[in-house]
Amino acid sequence: MPRRVIITFAIIGILIFISEYYTFQALKTVTRFKPLKWILLAVSLLIYINFFYTISSMSRADGQTITFQWAFGWLLIALVPKLFVMLLLFGEDVFRGGQKIVSFFTSQTKPLAGRRKFLSQLALGLASIPLASLLYGVFKGKFNYKVVKYQLAFKDLPDAFDGFTISHITDIHSGSFDNKEKIQYGVDLINEQQSDIIFFTGDIVNNFAHEMNDWVPVFSQLKASMGKYSILGNHDYGDYSDWKTPEDKKANFQAVKDIHPKIGFDLLLNENRYIEKDGQKIALIGVENWGKGFNKAGDLQVASEGIKQEDFKILLSHDPSHWEYKVKQDNFNYQLTLSGHTHGLQFGIEIPGWIKWSPAKYVYKQWAGLYEEFGRYINVNRGFGYHAFPGRVGIWPEITVIELKKA
């Protein structure tokens, strides 16, 4: 086993032990029902054993299975709330230790006896918030589809496209799906927007083309009068699995690309199209994946061949780091870029007008929503599906609707 994996497992093991110890002590202090702490400890142990067994028995050739996702999900549900208990009570122990040292030298009074019970009650109360949030995220939140609408005005937008509407979806991750009724609802919600065009910006599978087999009839129902266009994401290349032969990986990649016409999408592989309306046109450019630390198959120059600098351009690029490092300052002037990839980490807090936070912001400068620099825009869609963690907490699955206006 690689040294890095051993260290990771050791850190998780230490966190589990310390958090379980403090949670056990808190329950012992607060509850009068003595078996409760043992029942919860037994349930937690089963969850931990299931996670480590799943990790140790899975093969990278299998990719990321639903079994792994649920094992990881239950691990977070069991562990994260207890980390809140651990931090509060461990901090109190440090403070109490400091007071004992001071009292030894100064003969000051000892801490109040009732403080431990109060802090235990407070810690368990705080822990109930992430516990409820994670449970909701796993069973409801991942299907809590939100329609996010923007209106963007451009001086150089052709008059014929004033009022033109776009539905933008991304990161389907069909290999994670486990509820056909909910996915059908999401697809119906996209169609309800009645946008002129639909764009999909990558990651149609987790790793294998066959993951989409059961979902082709569902996503082929998507409709748009001016067409449907798509690109590839980092997961579509099959890079997250061990393959028996290079030929197997190549065949899977071709099968992934073949999914797009099956559901009625025109897949753009470093190429472009013109969309015409009333004798005027805008340029649509689609690049393969280009990401910081990921596959850099995307070639903006090749994809833009035949496009004029003065054309109004919509760029489809899966990873928003492409916009940050290559696109936004390009003299060719890509007015609007549509991306995905981040999922908003599927975890965060968003209250419009008040707060917008996720750990994703420490990795990606543009991680969710609409951004503007140099008069150019990027929309980072939060994703239609989910990956790794089988849920969403505070960062809901998204359907973006953008209306273009003539400034």
Q: Which strand (E) or helix (H) includes residue 299?
A: none
pLDDT band for 107, please (50, 70, 90 cuts).
low
- Convert the pLDDT of each residue in 331-369 to its tens digit: 999 999 999 999 999 999 999 889 999 999 999 999 999
Q: How far apart are CA 164 and CA 271, in angstroms?
A: 22
Q: 282 φ, ψ to 5°?
A: -125, 155
Dihedral sign computed on CA atoms, order 156, 161, 162, 167 = negative
Q: Which strand (E) or helix (H) includes residue 151?
A: strand 146-154
Q: How many CB atoms lie within 10 A of CB 375?
A: 11
Q: How far apart are CA 136 and CA 140, in angstroms?
A: 5
What are 355's two structure tokens? 């707060």
- pLDDT for res 117: 84
b/e map 69-104, b = 16+ CB within 10 Å: bbbbbbbbbbbbbbbbbbebbeebeeeeeeeeeeee
Q: 355 φ, ψ to 5°?
A: -150, 145
- Convert the pLDDT of each residue in 13-47 to its tens digit: 899 999 999 999 999 888 888 899 999 999 999 99
Domains observed in the chain: 3-139 (no CATH), 146-406 (3.60.21.10)
Helix axes 66-106, 3-30, angle to 10 degrees: 60
Q: How far apart are CA 119 and CA 405, in angstroms?
A: 56
Distance of CA 390 to the CA centre of its chain: 10
Q: What is the mean pLDDT of the chain?
A: 93
- pLDDT for res 109: 56
What are 250's two structure tokens? 């190549």
pLDDT band for 96, please (50, 70, 90 cuts).
confident
Q: By C-alpha distance, which of 316, 91, 118 is closest to 203?
A: 316
Residue 82 reports pLDDT greater than 60: yes
- Convert the pLDDT of each residue in 276-325 to its tens digit: 999 999 999 999 999 987 778 999 999 999 999 999 999 999 999 999 99
Q: Is 164 helix (H, G, I), strand (E, B) or coil?
A: strand
Show Cβ contacts of residue 19 under 8 Å, excluding neighbours closer than 6 positions. 79, 82, 83, 85, 86
Q: By C-alpha distance, which of 338, 316, 193, 309 is closest to 266?
A: 316
- Convert the pLDDT of each residue in 108-150 to its tens digit: 555 555 677 888 899 999 999 999 999 999 999 999 999 999 9
Alpha helices (H) along 31-59: 35-57
First to last CA, the chain: 59
Contact 399, 147 (CB under 8 A): yes
Q: Is 139 helix (H, G, I), strand (E, B) or coil?
A: helix
Pairing of strands 164-169, 398-406: antiparallel
Contact 241, 209 (CB under 8 A): no
Q: How far apart are CA 165 and CA 214, in angstroms?
A: 29
- Convert the pLDDT of each residue in 194-218 to its tens digit: 999 999 999 999 999 999 999 999 9
- pLDDT for res 393: 97
Contact 261, 267 (CB under 8 A): yes
Three-state SS letters, 175-206: HHCCCHHHHHHHHHHHHHCCCCEEEEECCCCC
Share of the chain above pLDDT 90, in %: 80
Residue 106 reports pLDDT greater than 80: no
